[in-house]
Structure 1
Amino acid sequence: MEFRVKLAIIYYSATGNIAQIAQEMAESAEKAGAEVRLRKVAELAPQSAIDANPAWAANAAATTGTPEATADDLIWADAVIMGSPTRFGNISSQLKQYLDTLGGLWHQGLLADKVYSGFTSTGTLHGGHESTLLALSHTFHHFGGIVVAPGYTHPDKFTDGNPYGTSHHDAGGTAPVDDTTRAAARIQAERVVKFARAISAAHLAA
């Protein structure tokens, strides 16, 4: 019987782009045979800031049913995909706060030997897509994780143009998540499941 991969998709999304990409990845991974936990990290911004931005407030309302990520989600998972909007070429403080709570698990070696991958969205065309994904991968390396990037392994990745992970350019909030981004998200999720299945099967056989 084929090994069923346990995949945690953990993200922070303000105005909803990252949430949409995460949902696309979750659906694609489930179709590829994975068991998926879709989780958002805790919000740190004050309610006044959220209410002042209609898109932010709408996304907060739309994702009230999405559970918040806990450390247990990482222990449970064979593979983890994390997503964050770009903040000055780096990940959001909300996702960073979640990562900073994982020191105990890291010290016990409980985050090692899992497959990790990342995705992002930015408001400007050259606003930190790659630097955000590379910054996120630094953490994965510290975990002792196995970083699986999509690379240029599918024709659609040449259209998307980012070998480090899925990234979306929302043109300052005027460009919704499109078919190019969704295709890239599907490719990345399927690739993560593929390699997590192979690695987990090898561990079981060892």
Structure 2
Amino acid sequence: MTKAVVIYYSGYGHTQHVAQYVAEGAHAQLIAIDNNGEISEQEWEALNAADAIIFGSPTYMGSVAWQFKKFQDATSKVWFTRGWQDKVFGGFTNSASLNGDKQVTLITLQTLASQHGGIWVSLGLLPANTLASTRNDVNNLGGSVGALIQSPSDAAADNIAAGDLETAKLYGARVADIARRLRG
């Protein structure tokens, strides 16, 4: 069986809510980066043992949250040993705005995976881009690199559009499926 891990930072609960959907789709373990940007030694071991790692961070001021960045920098210890070489990776982000420069965050996550010698999985879903499309449609924000989520700034995490949450779940399933197929 393929082992997948979703590692994320959530400042207000929205990214955590999305991470749960991604993990459900991937049948993955969830690891939360704490408010100091750290995870436990056991969680590092889970990442090292995973076949697939899915990163998640809110987009703050056009990039990942500083707590995720601290975790990102700490992965350099693994990078030196090529410990994540050829693992399958994916990533998701959310912000209050429909765009909010989310693409920059996804590129940051994709670059991190590439620096580790990983294999990045795209979203693989056509955008919902017709006049009849709604926020309840899958990939209604038109992502390609990874899952894009919009979290209204004045709403609780359980008010994220159903289409965004279904996109997150489908993306988790896609990453896990590709990891399974590559593992053979």
Both structures adopt the same fold (TM-score exceeding 0.5): yes
Q: In the TM superposition, what is the alpha-carbon distance from 1:6 to its structure 2 partner?
A: 0.3
Mapping 1:29-178, distance limit 5 Å: 29-30=26-27, 36-44=28-36, 70-152=43-125, 157-174=138-155, 176-178=159-161
Q: In the TM superposition, what is the alpha-carbon distance from 1:69 to its structure 2 partner?
A: 7.3
In structure 2, the CA distance between the partners of 1:187 and 1:160, relative to structure 1 (3 Å rule), is farther
In structure 2, the CA distance between the partners of 1:178 and 1:146, relative to structure 1 (3 Å rule), is same
Give a deviation string over 1:152-178, Cα, whole Å, max 9, x none: 358754524111211222232337222
Which structure 2 segments of 5+ residues have no match?
Answer: 129-136
Amino acid at match of 1:122: S
Same amino acid, percent of matched pairs: 30
Aligned partners of 1:160 and 1:69: how far apart in 2? 36
Alignment root-mean-square deviation, CA: 2.2
Which structure 1 segments of 5+ residues have no match?
Answer: 31-35, 46-66, 202-206
1:25 corresponds to which of 22, 27, 40: 22
Amino acid at match of 2:150: H
Kept after mapping to 2: 8 A contact 1:112/1:143: yes
TM-score w.r.t. the length of structure 2 is 0.85
Aligned partners of 1:196 and 1:83: how far apart in 2? 18
Aligned partners of 2:174 and 2:139: how far apart in 1? 16
TM-score w.r.t. the length of structure 1 is 0.76
Aligned residue number for residue 52 of structure 1: none
Kept after mapping to 2: 8 A contact 1:10/1:69: no
Moved over 4 A (4+): 153-158
Give a deviation string over 1:109-143, Cα, whole Å, max 9, x none: 11110000000111122211111111111111100
Q: In the TM superposition, what is the alpha-carbon distance from 1:149 to its structure 2 partner?
A: 1.2
Higher helix share: 1
Tell me how many residue pairs correspond in the alignment. Answer: 173
Q: In the TM superposition, what is the alpha-carbon distance from 1:193 to its structure 2 partner?
A: 1.0
